[in-house]
C-alpha cells in the first residue's frame, strides 16, 4: 500500500504532537510532506529533523531565520507567514491535510486544501464555527471528505458509518470541565491557572479555557450542525463527567448508538488519519470495571451562560457564530493574560454579539470583516473592564 502523504498544520500543538506520535508508531502508513508551527521554533525544528518533511512553515515570521538556520543541513524548504500555510495546505500530491491550528487562523488554509481537492482531517473546530457554510460547500463541490477529529464528532462520525441517514438527533457529551457544580459566586474569583486544570483531557490553552466555560460545547454544537447537516433542535448536550461515552446518535426508530473509549485524543486522531481504514493500535484500553458508575447531568445554563450565547448564535446563523467566535477568542486571550475575570469573558461576548450588525448570507470577505469588527469591539470592552 502506498503511504498516505500528509500535511500537519499546527504540528507543534497538542493535537499536532499527538498526531505525530501516531505517525511515529506507524511509519509504514504515512509520509509527512509538510509541518507548520507558530512560534515554538525549537519543537518545530526537532519535528522536522525527525520526520523530514519537504516543507516547514513558521507562521510567525520573526522565528523564520532561527528555524531556517537550524535546518540548513537538510533538504527542507523553510517558509514563513500566513500565505505559506495556504500554499502547503493546497500543495499537489498531498492525500490529507490535518487542520490542527487553533482559532480563526485555521480557516483559510482549510479552504485552500478543500479547493485543491484534498481531504481534510479537521481538529480546528473554529473553522466550521466561523464559516461552516463555505467550508461544507467547498468540500461538497470538490467531493472531498471532511473527517472530524474532535472526539465528539469523531464519535458521531463513527456511529454513522454504514448508516443511510435516519438520524433523529445527536447527543454531545460534555465533561463539565473543572468547575462542574460550581456557581457564579465561585467562578467570579477563578484565575487562569485553576481554569487550566482540566479533569480528563490535556489540551491547548484556548480549548482548555473553552472547556471550563462550556463555550467549547457551544462551538461543538455549531461544528456538529455543519458536519452532520442538522437543525439546532436535533443537537442536545449532556454532561457526562467521566468522558468515556464520546457522543451518541439517536435514530428515527429510537435506537441509540454511542461510541466509547478512554479520553485519549490519539484514538480519534488515528481514525481520522487512517480513514476509511481502522488500524490496530497499542493505546491503553478501556475497562468497564474501572468505571462502576457513569453519570449524566443537565448542563447548568444559568451559571455557564456561554453555552446559551452559543446556542443563540447557532439558531440565528449568518455571521453570528463568526462574531461569537471572534469575541470569545479575544476574551479567552485576555483571561489568559489576567486582564479580565472568568465571568467577564461571557460579558464581553454578549456585548460584542449585540453590537456587530447581523448578516444573513456572508461571503468570505464578510466573515473576515465581521471577525475584525468583533475583535476590535471585544478589545475595547476588555480595556474598559481591565481598568
Binding residues (CB under 5 A) for Mg ion: these are 150-152
In the complex with Mg ion, the residue whose CB is nearer, 213 or 379, is 213
Asked if 351 contacts 309 with a C-beta cutoff of 8 angstroms, the reply is: no
**Judged by CB, which is closer to ligand NAD: 201, or 228?**
201
Q: 61, 33 in Cβ contact below 8 A?
A: no
Helix (H) or strand (E) holding 344: helix 342-355
Contact with ligand NAD (CB under 6 A): which of 98, 101, 139, 258? 101
Whether the CB-CB separation of 246 and 259 falls below 8 Å is answered with: yes
The number of residues that bind ligand NAD (CB under 6 A) is: 27
| Interaction partner, residue 160 (ligand NAD, Mg ion, none; CB < 5-8 Å by kind) | none
Counting contacts by CB under 6 A, is residue 346 touching ligand NAD? Answer: no
Report CA Rg, the chain: 20
Q: Which of 29, 37, 180, 214 is in the footprint of ligand NAD by CB under 6 A? A: 37
Beta carbons of 60 and 316 less than 8 angstroms apart: no
> Which span (4-12, 291-299, 327-335, 355-363) binds ligand NAD, by CB under 6 A?
4-12
Report, in Å, the least distance between residue 60 CB and ligand NAD.
8
* Site map (CB under 6 A) of ligand NAD, residues 199-238, x = contact: --x-xx-xx-------------------------------
Residue 264's contacts (CB-CB under 8 Å, 6 or more residues apart) are 283, 284
Torsion over CA: 42, 44, 46, 48 (sign): negative
Phi, psi at residue 176, to the nearest 5°? 95, -15
Residue 109 touches which of Mg ion, ligand NAD, none (CB < 5 to 8 A by kind)?
Answer: none
With CB under 5 to 8 Å by kind, the binding choice for 218 among ligand NAD, Mg ion, none is none
Local structure of 151: helix, strand or coil = helix
C-alpha grid cell, residue 91: 500543495
Q: Kindly list the residues in this chain that would bind ligand NAD in the complex (CB under 6 A).
A: 10-16, 37-38, 40, 59, 85, 100-102, 105, 123-126, 150, 201, 203-204, 206-207, 265
Amino acid at each position: 500500500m502506498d503511504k498516505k502523504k500528509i500535511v500537519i498544520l499546527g504540528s507543534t500543538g497538542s493535537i499536532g504532537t499527538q498526531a505525530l506520535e501516531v505517525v511515529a508508531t506507524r511509519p509504514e502508513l504515512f509520509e509527512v510532506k509538510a509541518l507548520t508551527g507558530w512560534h515554538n521554533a525549537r519543537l518545530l525544528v526537532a519535528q522536522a529533523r525527525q520526520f523530514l518533511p519537504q516543507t516547514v512553515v513558521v507562521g510567525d515570521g520573526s522565528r523564520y531565520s532561527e528555524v531556517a538556520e537550524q535546518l540548513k543541513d537538510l533538504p527542507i524548504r523553510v517558509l514563513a507567514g500566513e500565505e505559506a500555510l495556504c500554499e502547503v495546505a493546497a500543495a499537489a500530491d498531498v492525500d490529507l491535510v490535518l487542520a490542527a491550528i487553533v482559532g480563526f487562523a485555521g480557516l483559510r488554509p482549510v479552504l485552500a486544501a478543500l479547493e485543491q481537492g484534498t481531504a481534510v482531517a479537521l481538529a480546528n473546530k473554529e473553522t466550521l464555527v466561523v464559516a461552516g457554510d463555505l467550508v461544507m460547500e467547498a468540500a461538497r463541490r470538490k467531493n472531498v471528505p471532511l473527517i472530524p477529529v474532535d472526539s465528539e464528532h469523531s464519535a458521531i462520525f463513527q456511529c454513522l458509518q454504514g448508516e443511510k441517514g435516519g438520524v433523529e438527533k445527536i447527543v454531545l457529551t460534555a465533561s463539565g470541565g473543572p468547575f462542574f457544580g460550581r456557581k457564579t459566586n465561585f467562578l467570579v474569583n477563578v484565575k487562569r491557572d485553576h481554569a487550566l486544570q482540566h479533569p480528563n483531557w490535556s489540551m491547548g490553552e484556548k480549548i482548555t479555557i473553552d472547556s471550563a466555560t462550556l463555550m467549547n460545547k457551544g462551538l461543538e454544537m455549531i461544528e456538529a450542525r455543519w458536519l452532520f447537516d442538522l437543525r439546532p433542535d436535533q443537537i442536545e448536550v449532556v454532561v457526562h463527567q467521566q468522558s468515556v461515552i464520546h457522543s451518541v446518535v439517536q435514530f428515527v426508530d429510537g435506537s441509540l448508538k454511542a461510541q466509547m473509549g478512554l479520553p485519549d485524543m490519539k484514538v480519534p486522531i488515528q481514525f481520522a488519519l487512517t480513514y476509511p481504514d481502522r488500524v490496530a493500535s497499542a493505546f491503553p484500553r478501556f475497562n468497564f470495571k474501572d468505571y462502576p458508575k457513569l453519570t449524566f447531568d443537565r448542563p447548568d445554563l444559568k451559571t455557564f451562560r456561554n453555552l446559551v450565547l452559543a446556542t443563540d448564535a447557532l439558531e440565528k446563523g449568518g455571521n453570528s457564530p463568526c462574531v461569537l467566535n471572534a469575541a470569545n477568542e479575544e476574551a479567552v486571550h485576555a483571561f489568559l493574560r489576567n486582564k479580565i475575570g472568568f465571568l467577564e469573558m461571557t460579558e464581553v461576548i454578549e456585548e460584542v454579539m449585540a453590537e456587530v450588525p447581523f448578516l444573513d448570507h456572508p461571503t468570505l470577505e464578510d466573515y473576515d470583516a465581521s471577525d475584525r469588527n468583533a475583535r476590535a469591539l471585544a478589545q475595547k470592552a476588555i480595556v474598559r473592564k481591565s481598568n
